[in-house]
């Protein structure tokens, strides 16, 4: 089974807007901290999905964003997600409560201390180190353990 999604890290004053996923009982991201985003609707482009999902989850309308990477996320449970990774540094609007968890501005240097996916630690590092577009493949064991990663087609040491 395959899925298409967007994931966005909104930046402001050295912080990322993080979503602590606490609401849905059977959520693969339950208790994890992630960016905002979600699954594509019919006929949406990555940018259309990004703008819609950010607006729905935060109340913000993005005014400045960048398409940074494609992340092939293999769960190990027969599901592969193609996540379109964005960062944004411009937005307008008033924040709204998110129905998937709590939104919180977290200092970039504190993000690695949160309960995040192991593979997210890799792409956070890449977002800081690289300006160019990249492709990252992350393979999990069916749970939380990352068993393989490849950057631009080249296996990485874990």
Asked if residue 111 has pLDDT above 80, the reply is yes
41-56 burial string, b = 16+ CB within 10 Å, else e? Answer: eeebebeebbbbbbbe
The secondary structure element, H or E, covering residue 123 is: helix 118-129
* E strand segments, 15-60: 15-21, 33-34, 36-39
Work out the mean pLDDT of the chain and round it to a whole number.
93
| pLDDT computed for residue 76 by the predictor | 82
Q: How far is CA 147 from the centre of its chain?
A: 19
The counts of H helices and E strands in the chain are: 2, 10
| pLDDT computed for residue 144 by the predictor | 86
Higher pLDDT, 151 or 1: 151
Asked if residue 106 has pLDDT above 90, the reply is yes
37-80 tens-digit pLDDT: 999 999 999 999 999 999 999 999 999 999 999 999 998 878 89
Percent of the chain with pLDDT over 70: 96
Are 30 and 71 spatial neighbours (Cβ–Cβ below 8 Å)?
no
pLDDT band per the 50, 70, 90 thresholds, residue 96: very high
Q: How many whole angstroms separate alpha carbon 150 and alpha carbon 154?
A: 5
Q: How many whole angstroms separate alpha carbon 67 and alpha carbon 49?
A: 12
Strands 80-92 and 2-12: parallel
| pLDDT computed for residue 2 by the predictor | 80
| pLDDT computed for residue 43 by the predictor | 97
| pLDDT computed for residue 79 by the predictor | 84
- Phi/psi of residue 13, nearest 5 degrees: 50, 45
């Amino acid at each position: 089974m395959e899925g298409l999604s967007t994931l966005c890290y909104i930046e402001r004053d050295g912080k990322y807007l993080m979503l602590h996923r606490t609401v849905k009982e059977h959520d693969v991201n339950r208790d994890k901290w992630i960016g905002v985003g979600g699954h594509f609707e019919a006929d949406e482009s990555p940018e259309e999905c990004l703008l819609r999902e950010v607006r729905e989850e935060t109340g913000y309308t993005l005014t400045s964003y960048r398409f940074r990477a494609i992340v092939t996320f293999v769960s190990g449970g027969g599901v592969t997600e193609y996540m379109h990774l964005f960062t944004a540094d411009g937005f307008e609007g008033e924040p709204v409560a998110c129905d998937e968890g709590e939104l919180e501005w977290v200092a970039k240097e504190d993000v690695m201390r949160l309960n995040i996916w192991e593979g997210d630690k890799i792409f956070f590092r890449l977002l800081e180190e690289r300006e160019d577009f990249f492709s990252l493949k992350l393979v999990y064991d069916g749970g939380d353990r990352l068993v393989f990663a490849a950057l631009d087609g080249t296996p990485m040491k874990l």
